[in-house]
Amino acid sequence: MIGRQIPLRVYPMLALGLLSFSASPILVRWAGEEAPGLAIAFWRTLLAVVMLAPFALPQLRANRLSRREAALTLLAGIFLGLHFVVWILSLFYTSVASASVLVCLSPVFLAALGFWWLGERLALPVVAAIGLAVVGAALIGWGDHTGLETGPQPLLGNALALAGALLVSLYLLIGRVVRQRISWLAYVFPLYLVAALTAFVPTLLLGVPLWGYSPRFYALCALMALGPQILGHGSFNYSVKYIPAAWLGLLSLLEPVGASLLAYLLFEEVPPALSVVGMVLVLAAVAFAVQYEQWTARRRLTPAAMD
């Protein structure tokens, strides 16, 4: 169940975050024309840290992390950095539609882990909606495997995207705990710093070059840092204080629709018919879950309706 007391500012922030997420795979595709995925992951996270530093440093002095919170933030940053690495790499092997949907399977992991770790329960209809979304995502993955515009190694790409879903689930759940006391900037700045360092490790081990690219590449990475990372992940890290992580994961399933539409317009990437059916199921599941929550919220506010 979504929390009862949600500030109104959370809703436009989430809407803006979801819109920025839709542009992420497109920006990655463009940047990937001249640089490997690991270089993109590193520069995206590092530039986000640079952009936030002037605003975050004063917050860090006012919001000191306890040892437990610091350890949890460190762990969340590692998960987030690994999420960026595997998800960006998935876009080099499978289609934008498949990668975008499979990485959004986090509601499944979030629902299970949230119940086990935080004791957050979801209503049975919402659980059913998550199940429907899983079926839709599976159809998209299978459609990519059988279609034509699937990428060079769709099964590998789909597996990487699924790993990204698990990693982002773990990082969001940790944020749900830490953000109850710590301000947004005091949390996301060290979080993104650890994510940047995590993304740097595989580039160092594999000898991936980080310099010598065109200004266009670095501009695209800056757009990824400002849009999908600061606005997208930032809006989720802000909202997770008020909304259960499983609900944020469910809302994130709206991203693939925008991403697939942009891929069609910009790359002429047409998903197979089976994938389109899967996307419709995902949309229907999210719409039902949101409508159900609105209905139950109205019933809570009008006790007379229970008579």
Cβ(96)–Cβ(269) below 8 Å: yes
Neighbours of 125 (CB within 10 A): 15
Instruction: List the chain domain ranges.
Output: 10-306
- pTM: predicted TM-score of the whole model, two decimal places: 0.77
The mean-pLDDT minimum among 52-61, 96-105, 176-185, 188-197 falls in 96-105
Q: Which of residues 249 and 80 earns the better pLDDT score?
A: 80
Residues 6+ apart with CB under 8 A from 259: 21, 22, 23, 24, 25, 26, 96, 97, 100
Q: Is residue 256 within 8 Å of residue 90, measured between CB atoms? A: no
Residues in the chain: 307
Q: Express each pLDDT in 266-304 by its tens digit.
A: 777 777 787 788 878 877 887 787 677 667 766 665 554
Burial of 260 (0-12, 13-18, 19+ CB in 10 A): buried
Of 87-91, 116-120, 134-138, 145-149, which one has max mean pLDDT? 87-91
- Residue in the block written with tokens 């991403």: 259
236 near 248, Cβ under 8 Å?
yes
